[in-house]
Amino acid sequence: MIEVPTILKGTIASEAFLDGYEPVVVHGYGLVVGLDGTGSSDVPPNVRAHMIAMAARRGIGSVSSGYGHLSPESLLDSPDTAIVVVEGLIPPAATKGAKFDVRIFAYPTSSTTSLEGGRLYTTELVPVNRPDLGRRILPPSGSRTPASLAKATGSLFINPFANPDAFGNDDIDRRTGLILNGGTVIKDMPLKLRLISPSHTRASILQNALNTRFAKEPGQRDATARGESDESIEITVPPSFRNDTETFVELVRHTTIRQAGAERVAATISRYVLENPAVARAASWRWEALGPRALPVIRTLYDTPSELPRLAALRAGAFLDDPLVSVHLIEMANSASVETRRQAIRLLADMGIDPRIDMTLRALLNEDDFQTRIEAYEALVRRGDPSISRIRIDDKFVLDIVASNKPMVYVTQVGMPRIAIFGNDLSLKRPTMMVTWAGRLMIRGDLDRDDVEVYYRAGNLLKGSTYWVEPRIAKLVQVFGHDTAADNPVPGLGLSYSQVVSVLYQIWRQGYLDADFRPEQDRILASILSQQRRELVTERPEFDTDVNTPQPSPTDLRPPG
């Protein structure tokens, strides 16, 4: 048996380690194209040779690639390209086709000054096999490169506070950027149970427990758990969890081995969490892993005075689609402590059709606390609420217009690129004389004219263009992002998502926007570094044949939350 906290006794985690439980850090060398003379080619010879070989494999030099007029060598030598390092975090047990965010930074010793306006050419990503105290490790090059697990491509998102023409006048790092949803998993990530004490009997018991809890679903070729030996069980992610593999692996770890006494186990967990509220998150995982049989027990905690056990019970009830949860979550979203309110809002997002939930979330869009407004907006987006007016700006990003009496501009830095405008009629303050990007972009508006004048000159042109646009921020965003084309001749500046966000920030910073400006926190780098530290203890033999059988990390044995 494995030494586990009391709340995990009798679970899969008490008898087996889960290979693939942690996310996988991946990285690779890539090429950013479309820069305006801010790239460079000064990288070590081995990296250059690696990139030339990669470019040749990708068809650079052929007409079909779009770069038929350039050889791989001349493309790398162009000041409009830059060799970069791409890194990302593949979710645990991710399946083929799953998306994830990636982070890009210029090669450390290169003289690249900015990645603004660039697009990453398709890049192969391989696992980081040598974590080194959480420090960044440059990818391998040459023939010994491990097999690719993912690929990445897309337009870069640079710091939204960056003025592209203010080199040296601020401390913003333009050599680093993000691509939201830019990574794609190209093969199913392995997920296996390793018994701490090999035994065909115990392996069969664990296998049966998982297949009882996760019965084979339509479209699922293999059973969820399949015994390979007396110490190994292969796990298949059911179709219903393919978009949420992190939840699935937690449920596997918290699954009760003896399935017959589910109600008794649920009651034991209930008593324990009331005595030890600190284990509330692990308690909810255990109830969720038990399934609907736990509902009679957890319903008794929906109105318990202790906030953490109540939230744990409501979380489990929401996961198990208990319709009785809604009224309690609505009350919590309106009256609990700030952090608990936000968690209640997140749970309401995934509840079934209920007009009371939609009305509650819409009302929360007017809260004084901006984070509560953002949580309510995100919940309404997940519910597909018609009160959110959605406009797709070409294939670049989504513009959401949110009904709220608290004006705010919110931009995402994780997942799908989105700009949310809180307030249907949020407009530029006038008179307006906004100048940015060294005069390449100007907006002028007078009180006696309905439209505002927008002047823009692309960095590679000598002459700019003038547009007359409604002063509403939503309309300006559409003009900023739209690419004028033969099949859609509506005028537009053709700016990237990153550039549009930068313009909005400059408008707000110069005092022409009477609203909050809130960018979502960038959590990618912190997650990557944190995961590399954890992998110092547990490495994956599936990706590195030179390591021994993995030993348990202390974090594997700690209940979530």
On the question of pLDDT at 546 being above 70, the answer is: no
Confidence at 347, pLDDT banded by 50, 70, 90: very high
Q: What is the pLDDT of residue 549?
A: 28
Q: Provide CB contacts within 8 A for 152, sequence distance 6+.
A: 28, 30, 86, 88, 102, 120, 122, 123, 125, 179, 182, 183, 184
Judging by beta carbons within 10 Å of its beta carbon (0-12, 13-18, 19+), is residue 337 exposed, middle or buried?
exposed
Cβ contact 216:224 at 8 Å: yes
Q: What mean pLDDT do residues 268-297 have?
A: 95
Which amino acid makes up residue 255? Answer: T
> Side chain identity at 122, as an amino acid letter?
T
User: How confident is the model over 125-151, as a mean pLDDT?
Assistant: 72
For residue 148, which amino acid is it? Answer: S
Q: Cα torsion for 279, 280, 286, 292, to the nearest 10°?
A: 160
- Weakest-pLDDT range from 60-74, 404-418, 486-500, 529-543: 529-543
The string of pLDDT tens digits covering residues 292-308 is: 999 999 999 999 999 99
pLDDT tens digits, 20-71: 888 889 999 999 998 888 999 888 999 988 888 888 777 675 555 555 567 8
Q: What was the pLDDT predicted at 326?
A: 95
- Angle in degrees, 0-180, between the axes of helices 338-349 and 355-364, rounded to the nearest 10: 140
Q: Is 235:88 a contact under the CB 8 Å cutoff?
A: no
Q: What distance in Å separates the CA atoms of residue 538 and residue 554, rounded to the nearest whole number? A: 10
Q: State the pLDDT at residue 526.
A: 61
Question: What pLDDT is recorded for position 547?
Answer: 27
Mean pLDDT of the chain: 86
Answer yes or no: is pLDDT of 279 > 60: yes
What is the pLDDT confidence band of residue 461, given thresholds at 50, 70 and 90?
confident
Kindly indicate the confidence band of residue 540, based on its pLDDT and cuts at 50, 70 and 90: very low
